[in-house]
Amino acid sequence: MAEFSIIDTYFNRQNKNSVDLGVGDDSALLTPPLQQQLVICADTLVAGRHFPLDTDPHAIGWKSVAVNLSDIAAMGATPHSILLALSLPQIDHDWLKAFSQGLYDCCDQFGVSLIGGDTTQSPHLTLSVTALGWVEIGKAVPRSGAKPGDLICVSGTVGDAAFALNHLGHPLQKRLDYPTPRCQLGTALKGLANSMIDVSDGLAQDLGHILKASQVGAILALEKLPISPALQALNDEQRWQYALAGGDDYELCFTISPQNYEKLLQKHLDVSISIIGTIQQQHGLTFEKDGVDHSLQFNGYQHFA
């Protein structure tokens, strides 16, 4: 089967939202909505590096989309469409059918269209997705807006995916294979949050990116970390290692003033929110347990480790 036959068979479906020209031409065409900025991100997944080699292809398809939509959500933007660059060692029709179904299942749930991309042969299975979204001009939520006195919040629970990676077959594996991009929360935080990031490389490391960009520090309360029951059964050090350094959670970590947090609570959110600390003027990330300083050293996920 030639490249174009693969595209026509598995990746050429009618778009569900406004696309002027999609799959099948040299480039896609979109008309930007009035008074909106284009938000763009890209992410690459490599077999054996970002997911186990025997991962269900449906899950790979879902995750390849979800991790990019998470980045769009972290800007407070609404996702619109994706581009897919797929490198395959060989043509496996069963794999392609399941993979494309997983990709489209995620697209459908979040109102996203596949509008183009590329396929090629490679010794290694590699997927690169570029996601596009829209946000009102000046309304995007960057990493650089955290202010002293802000509350530090995180959605959902943290550490589940890292725990699942070390306990394959555990019920929490669904959190590893099928992450949920917090798109509804991301748009709800537009105009309320001062800074935001998605938790992909570990909560401590990703919060550190906010602190560096905003030139502030933080106090994080270890006892307030939102932890699943499976991780609650571990000792403190193991639990905190997963929660703070595990990565692959794709929850949103954001900072918000106490006044705007009260406004956020009035919205109908589809995920729980936990306050885990506060932003301070003094630089650095300080950990506390029950109000007492607690020394911890964590390294998040490193792409070139």
pLDDT in tens, 162-183: 999 999 999 999 999 999 999 9
Q: What is the CATH topology of the domain spanning 3-136?
A: 60s Ribosomal Protein L30; Chain: A; (3.30.1330)
In this model, does residue 205 exceed pLDDT 60? yes
* 213's tokens: 């960009």
pLDDT category of residue 18 using cuts at 50, 70 and 90:
confident
114 pairs with which residues across the strands? 82
In this model, does residue 260 exceed pLDDT 70? yes
Q: 279 phi and psi, to 5 degrees?
A: -85, 140
Report the range of poorest mean pLDDT among 27-31, 132-136, 164-168, 191-195: 27-31
Q: List the binding residues for ATP.
A: 117-118, 143, 200
Mean pLDDT of the chain: 91
pLDDT more than 90, % of the chain: 74
Residues 297, 237 contacting (CB under 8 angstroms): no
Q: List the binding residues.
A: 26, 43, 50, 71, 117-118, 143, 198, 200-201, 248, 301
Domain 150-294 has CATH 3.30.70.660: no
In this model, does residue 210 exceed pLDDT 70? yes
In this model, does residue 25 exceed pLDDT 90? no
pTM over 0.85: yes
**Residue matched to tokens 């938790």:** 199
d(CA 268, CA 275): 17
Ranges of each domain in the chain: 3-136, 150-294
In order of 28, 61, 69, 173, the CA distances from 132 in angstroms are 12, 17, 9, 28
Q: List the binding residues for Mg(2+).
A: 26, 43, 71, 118, 198, 201
pLDDT category of residue 300 using cuts at 50, 70 and 90:
low
Burial call 20-58: b when 16+ CB within 10 Å, e when fewer? eebbeeeebebeeeeebbebebebebebeebbeeebbbb
pLDDT in tens, 67-120: 999 999 999 999 999 999 999 988 889 999 999 999 999 999 999 999 988 888
Q: List the binding residues for substrate.
A: 50, 248, 301
Structure confidence at residue 47 (pLDDT): 84
Run of H or E including 227: none
